[in-house]
Amino acid sequence: MLTLQSLEIETFSSKTTRNLQEQQELTFSCKTPVSLPPNIDDSLSSSDVIVREGSNISLRCRATGSPKPIIKWKRDDNSRITISKNRIVNDWEGDTLEITRISRLDMGAYLCIASNGVPPTVSKRIKVSVDCKYLSNFNFHLLMRNPYLVNSANGQMESNDALSNFISAIKTLPRIVWPFVRPKQSHSY
């Protein structure tokens, strides 16, 4: 068994020695492939990013190792990756993940996974936040005249005005449907 304390990486090596007593030169070559596990270079890879909705984004992941690592991208929550309007994939192979016209649905953590057959496989988590340009908060009130409410003290139905306040954060106005419950019908929510 050969144990190395430090290793200067050179995939293939050749050595020449001289035998002083016989005055002849002996040359021997040793071709030894060196296997190294993958290592993600953080200085050359993307970090967490905030991007405006509708713009394009490029996430980079650079890894070293021998043999050269293969880079795959996945969503941390295992949902699909929307590369473009017409291209949705489970995972993506390559050093760069490019997403065109990013939307709020693309927000989340992405994993860059580097593997080359030499354990361990390594990964880097990159969080993508999307600044949503159409997001707006608004309040609306709903006044119900004479709704039938159940009195919690005695269980009897009573008729009083009721005011509800709602806060919404959406692009368009919601469609709200209120079910009608006839008095003396049982119901639960």
CATH superfamily of 36-131: Immunoglobulins (2.60.40.10)
Distance of alpha carbon 22 from alpha carbon 125, whole angstroms: 61
Residues 131-144 have a mean pLDDT of: 61
Range picked from 20-29, 69-78, 151-160 for highest mean pLDDT: 69-78
Domain with CATH 2.60.40.10 in the chain: 36-131
Closest to 16 (Cα-Cα) out of 4, 28, 33, 24: 28
137 has pLDDT over 70: no
Q: What is the pLDDT of residues 100-136, one digit of tens each?
A: 999 989 999 999 999 999 999 999 999 999 988 665 5
Spell out a b/e string for 96-116, using b for 16 or more CB atoms within 10 Å of the CB, else e. ebebeebeeebbeebbbbbbb
Distance of alpha carbon 176 from alpha carbon 164, whole angstroms: 13
- Cβ pair 135, 171 in contact under 8 A: yes
